[in-house]
Amino acid sequence: MMAKLKVDYQSKIQAMEFVVAADDRFDWTRLDKADIILVGASGTAKTPLALYLGYQGYKAANLPLVPELDFGREKLIDYKAKIIGLTIDEDSLKKHRKRKLLDLGLGLDVEYVTDDRIRYELEYAQRVMNKLRSPIINVTDKRIEKLAFQVKELYRNK
């Protein structure tokens, strides 16, 4: 019993270390080692969800899908079996982004929170996820526990 507990603890610690090191980073070597790769526009709960999954022992990486960020998106197809897309409705994303900027002590007069920019990023992320044929979870108004359950179900059924 003690040996199993120790292994579970060690695997959780390793998974959490992995999640922190893989947060919003395009590191193909790390993606090779990931159990799950969460993708989506900025503000779709990728980081908190990855951390929650890491606590449960999953090596979860997360990648922001930003139109201007060229990281070799075409290479993502090699990882499609690990990818789960995240999306959110426009109004919720706008509220989330505004709150994030205010929490950082920044103003709201930036493109990051405009309706056009949010729509553009969500449409772009949707196109990428569709091209990868990845399952997509809408995170709008869902708790992290519920999202983690959905991700794990998709992971098990891949």
156 and 143 in contact (C-beta within 8 Å)? no
85 and 136 in contact (C-beta within 8 Å)? yes
Instruction: Give 51-84 pLDDT, tens digit per residue.
Output: 999 999 999 999 999 998 876 767 888 898 999 9
The DSSP bridge pattern shows strands 36-40 and 60-64 to be parallel
CA distance 40 to 84: 9
CA distance 46 to 19: 11
Which of 71, 80, 59 has the alpha carbon at shortest distance from 135? Answer: 80
pLDDT value at position 11?
87
CA distance 70 to 53: 27
Order of all β-strands in the sheet with 60-64? 60-64, 36-40, 83-87, 136-138
Low-confidence stretches of the chain (pLDDT beneath 50): 1-5
Task: Give the predicted TM-score (pTM) of the model.
Answer: 0.89
Fill in the DSSP letter of residue 76: G
pLDDT value at position 75?
82
pLDDT value at position 2?
43
134 and 85 in contact (C-beta within 8 Å)? yes
Six-digit token string for 38:
């969460």
